[in-house]
Amino acid sequence: MSRLLTIAAREYLAFVRTVGFWLSICLMPAGLLIAIYATSVSGRIAPPPHVAIVDLTGGGYGAALTEALRSPAAAALPTSAGAPPPVIVPAPGAPFASAEAAARALRPYLAGDAPTPGGVRLDAVAIVHGPAADPALDLWTRNILEPGLSGRLYQALGDAVRRARLEAAGLTPARIAAIDAWRPQVAQFSPKSEAGRVSARDNLPAFVGLALGFVLYALTLTGAGILLNSIIEEKSSRILEVLLTSASVPEIIGGKILGAALVTASALTVWAAVAGFGFFGRDPRLLG
């Protein structure tokens, strides 16, 4: 056991004294902070997309979509958090006889960099077509991955159709607005919660378990790499043969495994301390 611990201590100190070990500890939290900050900054400095809306139904849905995209909530789209809301621009060549004609006329502005007659670069086109009572929406975009914009337009069109149908059924706009303003009060309770009502502190173990599982997975891969590189290096430099003259194979392998485990545990402790400081610093009540 003494030889195993000696080998483990030697492995641990050999890695802890390297510059790469300290870089690996510092780079992961720094990389996460930089990624979060860069995403936020890029969202704020990105130019707002220019969107054209074509309503071929005659039901006034173009105004509803325009209002939805210009509202402050449009700045919180999943793909552009913190970015300004889209800018609504006239559709070049409007009016159009059909949705096919509109798509055919507007597609070249999305496929290339040709500006519209207004001098802007078109980024997306929303074409509402079909009967006014049951419209359809075709969204043409430069970027295929546009879940935020498509979801916003989908919700706005659905709300507009619902309001039109309620008005056709005899409800006044004021009554419809009152119905839309109502929000249910939802509370979660559990017998496992001390206060009865589930709080953020009750959900803390699940978040901590998920975070530790991710970190342990990353550290397992790191520890395996450290162990493998150590054995290969000592085998190539003939140090392993010298160790075999004074210790058995189980002692050498066990010491190396223990040393790699201590290295990964040290990195885990530092990362957990940084994450805990940031997490509990935002809500100190979780420590109560």
Full 3-state SS string of 225-255: HHHHHHHHHHHHCCHHHHHHCCCCHHHHHHH
Whether the CB-CB separation of 52 and 126 falls below 8 Å is answered with yes
Answer whether 0.85 is exceeded by the pTM: no
160 and 254 belong to one structural domain = no
Cα-Cα-Cα-Cα torsion 218, 222, 223, 226, nearest 10 degrees, comes to 180
Using a pLDDT cut of 70, give the percent of the chain over it: 76
Q: How confident is the model at residue 146 (pLDDT cuts 50, 70, 90)?
A: low
Burial of 253 (0-12, 13-18, 19+ CB in 10 A): middle
CATH number at residue 105: 3.40.190
pLDDT one-digit tens code per residue, 93-137: 889 999 999 999 999 999 888 888 888 899 899 999 999 889 999
Rg (CA), the chain: 30
Structural domain containing residue 15: 2-34+201-287
- Lowest-confidence pick of 15-24, 154-163, 213-222, 275-284: 275-284
Q: How confident is the model at residue 76 (pLDDT cuts 50, 70, 90)?
A: very low
Q: Quick one: which H or E segment has residue 140?
A: strand 136-141
153 and 259 belong to one structural domain = no
52 and 171 belong to one structural domain = yes
Token pair 């390297």 is at which residue? 18
109 and 6 belong to one structural domain = no
Task: Give the sign of the dihedral formed by CA 28, CA 31, CA 35, CA 41.
Answer: positive
Whether the CB-CB separation of 116 and 127 falls below 8 Å is answered with no
Residue 125 phi, psi (nearest 5)? -135, 125
142 and 61 belong to one structural domain = yes
* CA 26 and chain centroid, separation: 23
Write down the pLDDT at residue 269. 81
> Which of 201, 215, 49 shows the shortest CA–CA distance to 123?
49
What is the mean pLDDT of the segment spanning 206-233?
71
What is the mean pLDDT of the segment spanning 18-25?
76
